[in-house]
Structure 1
Amino acid sequence: MSATMCQVMGFLVSALGFAGCIAATVMDMWSTQDLYDNPVTAVYQYQGLWRSCVTQSSGLTECRPYFTILGLPAMFQAVRALMIVGIVLGAFGLLVAIFSLKCLRIGSMEDSAKANMTLTAGIMNIVAGLCAICGVSVFANMLVTNYWMSTANMYQTGMMQTLQTRYTFGAALFVGWVAGGLAFIGGVLLCIACRGLVPEETHYKAVSYKSAGYKSGVGYETKNTAVKSDDGRRSYPSKHDYV
């Protein structure tokens, strides 16, 4: 795969991951009500990062935003922060990647500058993908912990089993995992492409002083431009040339 193709593929994959991160962040189904013990219910509840919703059997859906910040758990706020940081880094990474595309010429920008910009964009997208994956994983860990704690309380109370509401994984978690993976893969492709965008350096060979007409230098070679006479001797000025 050529460097240009690898760069374009990394940009497209990163763009898909960025769009997926935004979609997962704004989705409301981060956690959904578990209907294993109560499959028939008149109310279905699900929650997101920004609001909680209730759907009735009649089809009416009502959502209520979280009107507090300090009242939310610390891990919940950490998930919010990770997703926002991932979106911001992904946006900057895509912006840098657009200007670093080899097929796009902007003024007299050299290939070495494009390679550095491609590497920067790749690192940003990798970090953005890791932020999204970590945020979704932390939220999933919270759901698993609360689920088993609720299950233990249900077995202890017995009579309160029907009143206990448990939540399981929502569709937004799977979207976030896939989006974070795409952003990470896109960043890796951009980092790989930056090596092919660097122009080949000119390698200079040191030549011995005894070579015909060359003097050896440090890291470069220079040719001795002294003019030779017909008989092979160097035409240096002598005292007989002046009257």
Structure 2
Amino acid sequence: MAASMIQLIGFMLSALGVFLISAATAMDMWSLQDRSFTIVTNVYTYSGLWNSCVGTSYGTTQCRPYFTILGLPALLQAVRALMIVGIVFGVIGCLIAIFALKCLKMGNMEDNIKATMTLTAGILFLLAGVCGIAGVSAFANLIVQSFRFTTYADSGYGVLGGSDIGGLSGGLTPRYTFGPALFVGWIGGAILVIGGVLMCLACRGMTPDNKQRYDGMAYKAASQHTIYKSDTRPRPAYNDSYKAQSMDGRQTNQRFDYV
């Protein structure tokens, strides 16, 4: 009962994790423009793995997909590959876990087969969670490096605290920070790892402990000093009265055994 509950909880968590990393992959807000030092805050830009968008505070949004593959950074393509591989592993793990549920009867499937399928699904969920966390972390590291080395071109601030018109002058280079999709991906990957661990633990409880025992007899080989004794029992003597008689009354040497 405990193994089936752990298996069911692990499957539900893993399915939720697959949904979250799939949603994070489809979201466009992986990197969001930092508006801390900008004057115009009603217009901002953000981008994801597939589109680059411009949004306004009025709710209007215009997105432009990436029309090229070879022109994109190698890290972005690696993040795409990691997220897609994680989704594929998660979907395959969910399909295997559905048929491996102990509460679901599938013909005459034995517990050993279901335990093996549960372990396989747990390993796939672990791999999917690791791929999702690795992809999101790699993109987050790219944002951190870009944010650290991006500076404003000419701030216009005076030495004594004075400033030019508007407080800023010169062109500004936009900086980007973490978007909501990164947090969704991190949470989804962590849930996938937890679900995979629970599935692997449920596999141990599903394996039957009562193994079939075979009753046998101990065989003792004969030693080298074995002495074989001859048979000294008396042999039964034959009775001549059972000899067959011929037609003329004479006895013959033929004997007949009567059963």
TM-score if structure 2 supplies the norm length? Answer: 0.76
TM-score if structure 1 supplies the norm length? Answer: 0.81
How far does residue 36 in structure 1 lie from its aligned partner after superposition?
1.1
How far does residue 199 in structure 1 lie from its aligned partner after superposition?
1.1
The answer for the alignment partner of 1:199 in structure 2 is 208
The answer for the alignment partner of 1:216 in structure 2 is 218
How far does residue 158 in structure 1 lie from its aligned partner after superposition?
4.5
- For residues 41 and 171 of structure 2, the distance between their equivalents in structure 1, rounded to whole angstroms, comes to 11
Matched to 1:114, the amino acid is K
SS at match of 1:32: strand
- For residues 216-236 of structure 1, the C-alpha deviation after alignment (integer angstroms, 9 at most, x for no partner) is 37xxxxxxxxxxxxxxxxxxx
SS at match of 1:89: helix
The answer for the alignment partner of 1:35 in structure 2 is 35
- Out of 181, 189, 202, the position equivalent to 1:172 is 181
**Larger radius of gyration between Structure 1 and Structure 2:** 2
How far does residue 169 in structure 1 lie from its aligned partner after superposition?
0.1
How far does residue 56 in structure 1 lie from its aligned partner after superposition?
2.7
The answer for the alignment partner of 1:94 in structure 2 is 94
Deviates further, 62-71 or 197-206: 197-206
Matched to 2:211, the amino acid is T
SS at match of 1:46: strand
How far does residue 191 in structure 1 lie from its aligned partner after superposition?
0.2
1:183 aligns with 2:192: yes
Q: How does 1:14-163 map to 2 (within 5 A)?
A: 14-38=14-38, 40-151=40-151, 154=152, 157-158=154-155, 162-163=171-172
Name the structure where helix makes up a greater proportion of residues: 1
- For residues 183-219 of structure 1, the C-alpha deviation after alignment (integer angstroms, 9 at most, x for no partner) is 110000000000011112326488xxxxxxx7237xx
How far does residue 42 in structure 1 lie from its aligned partner after superposition?
3.8
How far does residue 107 in structure 1 lie from its aligned partner after superposition?
1.1
- For residues 109-153 of structure 1, the C-alpha deviation after alignment (integer angstroms, 9 at most, x for no partner) is 1000000000000000000000000000000000000111113xx
- For residues 18 and 39 of structure 2, the distance between their equivalents in structure 1, rounded to whole angstroms, comes to 36
SS at match of 2:53: strand
Matched to 1:190, the amino acid is M
The runs of at least 4 consecutive aligned structure 1 residues that moved more than 4 Å come to 157-162, 203-206
SS at match of 2:96: helix
Matched to 2:70, the amino acid is L
Matched to 1:11, the amino acid is F
Matched to 2:9, the amino acid is M
- For residues 188 and 85 of structure 2, the distance between their equivalents in structure 1, rounded to whole angstroms, comes to 14
How far does residue 59 in structure 1 lie from its aligned partner after superposition?
3.1
SS at match of 2:150: helix
SS at match of 1:163: coil
- For residues 39 and 113 of structure 2, the distance between their equivalents in structure 1, rounded to whole angstroms, comes to 59
- For residues 129 and 170 of structure 2, the distance between their equivalents in structure 1, rounded to whole angstroms, comes to 39
The answer for the alignment partner of 1:224 in structure 2 is none
How far does residue 41 in structure 1 lie from its aligned partner after superposition?
2.6
Matched to 2:175, the amino acid is R
SS at match of 2:129: helix
- For residues 152-187 of structure 1, the C-alpha deviation after alignment (integer angstroms, 9 at most, x for no partner) is xx36x5467642111000000000000000011000
Deviates further, 31-40 or 176-185: 31-40
Q: Which runs of 5+ in 1 are unaligned?
A: 207-213, 218-238
